[in-house]
């Protein structure tokens, strides 16, 4: 069966009728670009071949900060992942080396060693060699948002993703865009913030630090193991994330590329763009922290081309 981009993980907090009135128009230029990046993403994992997910039950409502949650998924989300492919993909193997470089708690200053700086460098070098990031770079140069000089573009990526800043005012330099989005953090010992990456999710789940609690979706939506965007609930080191969203199976360079483009095209503190990627309509949310990234995540609106069928009625 041909893998679909995403199926039916949808979390809508407002009715569709109310949504269409206020929803911004689809950004066709970015949709075209991101579909091109999607096709160029040779390091993307194929569902059913490179990994298998088991979505199980619908998660219950949990208030932010609550640690008591019913488990609607007795099995892990990832029933298997082709680890040899994971570790033999250069960008992914370099990416995984970065995951243990961070203090989980925001409010605890990060100490960056020389070895960790080398790992960041090697990761960025690997990402810059991919067709996905080369294409994103050409687009940003055409918009006057990035220098065509590769070294300058690399330092721009470094500033956006790896520059350390204060997420909690009381602390030292305790956070970065990369840490927040790809690794995940805890705040005040009571909640999970960030954590929007499937590879980190899989590795944490495998090491029994994370427990998948079920999917989040509207009543009529049933999840699908071919989905490439999920809304899900999980606990991590005893804390609960009531609803988190992430791409599934995509490469780190694909996620970095699309969020870097959205970040650099806008100067507002918070930006939301509506795009269609493959058969999915989603919002990409990017919040800045000065000249660096505060957070970035996909928010699924409709899948299986449902948004196309709605317009044809």
Q: How much is the mean pLDDT over the chain?
A: 86
User: Distance from CA of residue 127 to its chain's centroid?
Assistant: 16
Q: For residue 264, what pLDDT is reported?
A: 98
228 is catalytic: no
Residue 19 within any structural domain of the chain: no
DSSP 175: B
Residue tagged active-site, from 137, 213, 241, 289: 241
Domain total of the chain: 1
Residue tagged active-site, from 180, 213, 228, 289: 180
Residue 12 within any structural domain of the chain: no
Residue tagged active-site, from 137, 196, 216, 228: 196
Residue 190 within any structural domain of the chain: yes
Residue 6 within any structural domain of the chain: no
Q: For residue 23, what pLDDT is reported?
A: 61
pLDDT digits (tens, 9 = 90+) for 244-274: 889 999 999 999 999 999 999 999 999 999 9
Q: Residue 202 belongs to what domain range?
A: 28-43+74-306
Residue 244 within any structural domain of the chain: yes
Percent of the chain exceeding pLDDT 90 equals 60
Residue with tokens 């770079």: 137
* Distance of alpha carbon 114 from alpha carbon 90, whole angstroms: 21
Percent of the chain exceeding pLDDT 70 equals 87
pLDDT digits (tens, 9 = 90+) for 71-118: 999 999 999 999 999 999 999 999 999 998 777 777 778 888 888 999
Q: For residue 6, what pLDDT is reported?
A: 54
Do residues 107 and 89 touch, judged by C-beta distance below 8 A? no
DSSP, residue by residue, 255-291: HHHHHHHHHHH--SSEEEEEEEETTEEEEEEEEEETT
What is each CA distance from 20 to 13, 105, 251, in whole angstroms? Answer: 13, 39, 31
* Distance of alpha carbon 265 from alpha carbon 288, whole angstroms: 12
196 is catalytic: yes
Q: For residue 199, what pLDDT is reported?
A: 96
Q: For residue 136, what pLDDT is reported?
A: 98
Q: Which residue has the higher pLDDT, 64 or 87?
A: 87
180 is catalytic: yes
């Amino acid at each position: 069966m041909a893998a679909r981009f995403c199926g039916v993980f949808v979390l809508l907090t407002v009715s569709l009728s109310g949504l269409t009135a206020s929803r911004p128009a689809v950004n066709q230029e970015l949709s075209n670009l991101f579909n091109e990046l999607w096709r160029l993403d040779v390091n993307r994992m194929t569902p059913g071949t490179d990994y298998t997910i088991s979505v199980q039950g619908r998660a219950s409502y949990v208030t932010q900060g609550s640690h008591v949650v019913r488990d609607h998924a007795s099995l892990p989300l990832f029933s298997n992942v082709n680890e040899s492919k994971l570790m033999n993909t250069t960008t992914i193997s370099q990416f995984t080396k970065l995951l243990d470089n961070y203090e989980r708690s925001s409010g605890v200053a990060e100490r960056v060693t020389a070895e960790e700086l080398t790992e960041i460098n090697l990761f960025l070098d690997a990402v810059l060699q991919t067709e996905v990031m080369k294409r994103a770079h050409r687009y940003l140069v055409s918009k006057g948002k990035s220098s065509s000089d590769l070294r300058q573009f690399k330092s721009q990526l470094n500033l956006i993703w790896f520059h350390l800043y204060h997420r909690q005012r009381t602390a030292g330099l305790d956070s970065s865009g990369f840490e927040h989005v790809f690794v995940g953090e805890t705040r005040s010992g009571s909640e999970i913030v960030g954590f929007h990456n499937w590879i980190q999710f899989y590795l944490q789940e495998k090491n029994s630090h994370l427990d998948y609690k079920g999917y989040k979706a509207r009543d009529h939506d049933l999840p699908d193991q071919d989905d490439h965007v999920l809304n899900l609930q999980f606990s991590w080191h005893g804390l609960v994330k009531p609803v988190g969203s992430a791409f599934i199976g995509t490469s780190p360079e694909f996620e970095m590329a699309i969020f870097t483009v959205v970040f650099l095209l806008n100067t507002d503190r918070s930006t939301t763009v509506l795009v269609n990627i493959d058969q999915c309509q989603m919002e990409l949310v990017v919040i800045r922290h000065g000249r660096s990234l505060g957070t970035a995540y996909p928010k699924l609106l409709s899948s299986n081309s449902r948004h196309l069928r709605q317009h044809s009625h």
